[in-house]
Amino acid sequence: MSCVESRMSNYGSEESPPQKKRRNEKASPRWWWSLPDAVALSIVARLTRLDHAALSLVSKRHRSLVASPELCRARSLIGCTEASLYVCLNIMPDPNPSWFVLTRNRQLRQIPSNPYQPLRSSSSSFLVVDWGIYVIGGIVNGNPTRDVWFLDCYSHTWHPVPSMKIHGNRNDWCAIGDLLFCRGTRGRILWCEPDELDWKEVKGLEELQESFFCGLRHVMDYGKKVYEPCKPTERKVKYDISKLSCNSSGNIVIFWNTQLEYPEGLELKSAEISLERHQESEIWGKIEWSGVILRDDPLSHSYSLNVLFSAPVYC
């Protein structure tokens, strides 16, 4: 009997869930079940995260290995981690911060958020350690909090950790190699030596800076009453970098918001910029990629979008 005929003959057969489960577990090679846990863990650690998702469906033991915290440690030790860029956004009028991961096709995919994260997370500190992100402190009901939460970036789950005695703050700068970078005004990116703190402008980004000044745009003027006719008016619209960070390639990642004409809503754009030192006192940037990574649903009635945090995590 051919494989097709075999599948066709089994098409109408009925199996209870326990029977299917036993059959799937028996389908695994016998040598797999005889392996010590440490050896099995070492094998699974060398697979990609995409393979882990499929592997967790094979059997209970596979699922247990994929979900174990030891797997993350093993992947880190043997250098099999994969970097993903995580972004925390504040999309008003929703006061709760939202968390996303940047996919391979450069779109933000939402992951579970922490309902207990401070609403005013702009005053929180964010720290990447191993395969997760610590959110430290913040403001709750007008008062600073010492609460600390850990986002496990492998399982996308949140865990409370012992509170700090300190309160965090955040600075919009990043370190790449032995240099510091920060965002300036009018779309500029600045850099300096850590021991000098003499900020200079990254050159070669004039085209990007010009794109922030969009010239005249038709904007709908609603007047004082909702039922009055909308009148399009021309207004000069300009944008600026709202957040600067770096990615796993050692390139700068910047974010900025654009307000679309009514009723399209908001867009979040991003650009990746590689860096090259031409002379001792000059850093030049090159735009490797630029585009829209998140487009807000017009029906959500969001009126502002703020990037609170962005950093690569290896897991």
Six token digits for residue 170: 């955040």
| Average pLDDT over every residue of 236-245 | 79
User: Which pLDDT tens digit goes with each residue over 155-205?
Assistant: 888 999 877 574 444 456 788 888 889 888 888 999 988 767 688 999 999
Residue 148 has pLDDT above 60, yes or no: yes
The residue count of the chain comes to 315
Point out the least confidently predicted range of 112-126, 177-191, 215-229, 245-259. 215-229
For 245, phi then psi, to 5°, come to: -150, -170
Q: For 213-242, b where at least 16 C-beta lie within 10 A, e where not — what string?
A: eeeeeeeeeeeeeeeeeeeeeeeeeeebbb
Residue 28 has pLDDT above 80, yes or no: no
**Which of 20, 74, 86 lies closest to 43, judged by CA?**
74
How confident is the prediction for the chain on average, in pLDDT?
Answer: 75
CA distance 87 to 126: 11
| Average pLDDT over every residue of 234-240 | 62
Six token digits for residue 173: 């700068």
Residue 99 has pLDDT above 90, yes or no: yes
Name the more confident of 7 and 274: 274
CA distance 158 to 189: 34
Q: What is the pLDDT of residue 204?
A: 95
pTM, two decimal places = 0.65
CA distance 113 to 119: 12
pLDDT more than 90, % of the chain? 19
Distances (CA, A) of 288 to 46, 179, 251, 253, 293: 30, 20, 9, 10, 15
| Average pLDDT over every residue of 117-146 | 78
Distances (CA, A) of 290 to 58, 133, 195, 211, 294: 40, 26, 32, 11, 12
Judge whether 112 and 157 are in contact, CB under 8 Å. yes
Name the more confident of 205 and 240: 205
Six token digits for residue 197: 């703190």
Q: What is the pLDDT of residue 45?
A: 75
- DSSP three-state, residue 267: strand
Q: What is the pLDDT of residue 212?
A: 78
Confidence band of 113 (pLDDT split at 50, 70, 90): very high
CA distance 15 to 45: 33
- For residue 254, give the amino acid letter: I
User: Which pLDDT tens digit goes with each residue over 261-286?
Assistant: 555 668 899 999 999 998 778 999 99
